[in-house]
Chain A
Amino acid sequence: MAARYDRAITVFSPDGHLFQVEYAQEAVKKGSTAVGIRGKDIVVLGVEKKSVAKLQEERTVRKICALDDHVCMAFAGLTADARIVINRARVECQSHRLTVEDPVTVEYITRHIATLKQRYTQSNGRRPFGISALIVGFDCDGTPRLYQTDPSGTYHAWKANAIGRSAKTVREFLEKNYTEESIATDNESIKLAIKALLEVVQSGGKNIELAVIRRNQSLKLLESKEIETLVTEIEKEKEEEAEKKKQKKST
């Protein structure tokens, strides 16, 4: 059945699916994991760094990109598609500043990206973008925001979310561990993001890339040293927790 209805993007299947869009979502699931956390005074984006070939320069592949001073995004899926979407979003951020004399709100730029994606699900001769994006930032009034878009062009606001490979596992971890305490301070929020990624990333701190935006500050990429320190902290805490449990059991 699917064979007949999955070639053209503009054709619905009898049971109401747009197969091309669903296949695009499959492509997203193959991309490396990205996680986003909305704290109180900070928003955190973490991505799994794919291992780089020996001769390849590490810094040319960046999965976290700034769209403007106060907004940035991470994606999962086809890198080339992401580049186009990011370009358009960056231009739109500046156009908005020009016509409205105000920086974009996170919701506005998310809506713009989602509308762009939707357009590509409804025109002839084009295929959908094969990326999901996590867009984070602060609005003018200081509220932190986190939005997720997917290839179909829908967008939702989240407190914390993950996309890409093993997104389900990470999301379940976040559902259990995202509490008022866990985002109480900036450091705690960052640690939560790292903990979430460590669930699915193989070899620890070296394969994690982390970026944060604090209120009224621009995007900061954490250095690998900082990430390493935080990872060791987390591992210490884990050991302490394990010891406490052992003590409880023995008593």
Chain B
Amino acid sequence: MALASVLQSESVDFSNYGRQRHGFASGLYEAELGLESVGGDRLSFALSTSCSNEDGPDRKIEFLHGTTTLAFKFQHGVIVAVDSRATAGSYIASQTVKKVIEINPYLLGTMAGGAADCSFWERLLARQCRVYELRNKERISVAAASKLLANMVYQYKGMGLSMGTMVCGWDKTGPGLYYVDSEGNRVCGDLFAVGSGSMYAYGIVDSGLKQKDLTVEEACDLGRRAIYQATYRDAYSGGQVNLYHVHSEGWTRVSQSDVLMLHQQYQAEKA
């Protein structure tokens, strides 16, 4: 695998860097790889599944580590942007995967890791949220919803679940954004990007978020561009950019843009 050797040197840096700063991002892959130290023979999170078939534990399940999902808070709520590519090694299995799960009309969850794990646990979360709503006659807060999910998967820690999701919503305290994964991490934050293309996405969003007061249009544009840039450089992300906006009334599906269309659009803008 030529690509593997090219990326290996970079991958080593990535996993180290990841481990220090973004415990959550690399945590996913440490579990996957089952190693504490930086493995030179282990491929980074840039490459995923099929390699683990050959040299790792027998795992024939397709994991969506090759992905880019992104969410950030801003003045008018939360923007959630995801790509839609699923890969099995170097084979593109699908370009039209739905990586945003609609938990209920005001809560969204993103999908990274095992598709089955993500959708199953988030549907279970939807059921819990609804029961909470009926019992307590008020909507569940984003903090509580993410806590329920984190507690549910923590019981299965070490048993091979793979899930890295961002729970996004709006409750009475305003916009809420939590990162939850199958390792038991649960972190509140203003900006998260998960997946192999996350670094590229971070670059765009970090520079674009300099101005504090973004309008909804600008924020959507930023999210879209960040995913586009990630798909541009990351082989394992692509397809369409699905964009959602969470506001006080709930979430709205803003757009679904094919990456190739976006490419032409941005090229035209440059000229």
Contact = CB atoms under 8 A, between A and B. Distances in A.
B144 A102 contact: yes
A101 B147 contact: yes
Interface in A98-112: 99-102, 105, 108, 111
Interface in A80-110: 99-102, 105, 108
B204 interface: no
B141 A100 contact: yes
B147 A99 contact: yes
A101 B147 CA distance: 8
B254 interface: no
Interface residues of B, number: 9
Interface string A182-225: 00000000000000000000000000000000000000000000
B38 to A, nearest CB: 35
Contacts of B141: 100-102
Dominant secondary structure at the A interface? helix
Contacts of A111: 135
Interface in A110-158: 111
Dominant secondary structure at the B interface? helix
A105 B136 contact: yes
A101 B135 CA distance: 17
A50 to B, nearest CB: 37
Contacts of A108: 136
B7 interface: no
Interface residues of A, number: 7
Contacts of A100: 140-141, 143-144, 147
A101 B136 contact: no
Contacts of B136: 105, 108
Contacts of B151: 99
A21 to B, nearest CB: 24
Interface in B123-150: 135-136, 140-141, 143-144, 147-148
A195 B8 CA distance: 82
Contacts of A101: 141, 143-144, 147
Contacts of B135: 111
B148 to A, nearest CB: 7
A99 B144 CA distance: 6
A140 to B, nearest CB: 9
B188 to A, nearest CB: 10
Contacts of B144: 99-102
Interface string B147-163: 11001000000000000
Nearest to B137: A107
Nearest to A108: B136
A100 B138 CA distance: 13
Interface in B191-233: none
A247 B140 CA distance: 61
Contacts of B143: 100-102
Nearest to B138: A105
A111 B136 CA distance: 10
Interface of B: 135-136, 140-141, 143-144, 147-148, 151
Given A99-B147, A99-B151, A111-B135, 16 more contacts: A99-B144, A99-B148, A100-B140, A100-B141, A100-B143, A100-B144, A100-B147, A101-B141, A101-B143, A101-B144, A101-B147, A102-B141, A102-B143, A102-B144, A105-B136, A108-B136
Interface of A: 99-102, 105, 108, 111
5 contacts: A99-B147, A101-B143, A102-B141, A102-B144, A108-B136
8 closest A-B pairs by beta carbon, nearest first, are: A100-B144, A101-B143, A99-B147, A101-B144, A101-B147, A102-B141, A108-B136, A99-B151
